[in-house]
Amino acid sequence: MKKIFGALMILGLIACGTEQKTEEPKKEEKAVSNKEELQVEIIKMEEELTKKMRTQFDENLAKRVVEFYKSYADNNPQDSISADYLFKAGEVSIGLKEYEQAAGFFERIYNHFPNYAKRVESLYLVGFVYDEHLSNYGKAQTYYQKVINEHPDHGFADDAKASIETLGLTDEEIIKKFQEAQKAVQ
């Protein structure tokens, strides 16, 4: 179940094409510092990245959009859209296999945006990244347990419990465990 969740999360990033094509940064690009200019550039890059993903994943463009998301959030920490940009930065970072960076973005959301709709999901995703991508099961369990302890009534608390039960198991072992549980119920 958690592998399916992870696959769905980054499906939009790597949906088509396995061949990587990179684009060199344009020399005429200037530093963008003002809030409105950053938003305009982010929108342009998101559109370009989405268009290119239909044929090939553009790693360089993906890295640039992550830098812009981070820059916007760094320069506008109180802006509500900063949390959205950090969440997207985490998703794109997973697609780039920059897992520590992704976990950092998700944890930053949890720690600095208490009213963000995806706050608990962000905490869960920190655990998920440590579990599925970094194989650091101790850290994964710590974050999953934090979801359970601090948000026991949230839907992600159930997911965190299930994830703890399957920490370190292969897909085959998870399926076998599920089948055994089904037999015990019948």
CB 125 within 8 A of CB 143: no
Domains of the chain: 2-21+30-185 (1.25.40.10)
What are 56's two structure tokens?
């090939």
β-partners of residue 20 are 57
Closest-CA residue to 92 (of 61, 120, 122, 135): 61
Closest-CA residue to 53 (of 13, 92, 93): 13
Each residue's pLDDT tens digit in the chain (186 positions)? Answer: 454 344 334 434 333 333 334 444 443 445 566 888 889 999 888 888 887 777 788 899 999 999 999 999 999 999 989 999 999 999 999 999 999 999 999 999 999 999 999 999 999 999 999 999 999 999 999 999 999 999 999 999 999 999 999 999 888 998 988 888 888 888
Full-model pTM: 0.76
CA dist 94 and 101 (Å) reads 8
CA dist 149 and 156 (Å) reads 11
pLDDT digits 0-9 by tens, 1-52: 454 344 334 434 333 333 334 444 443 445 566 888 889 999 888 888 887 7
CA dist 138 and 140 (Å) reads 5
The owner of tokens 């992550």 is 66
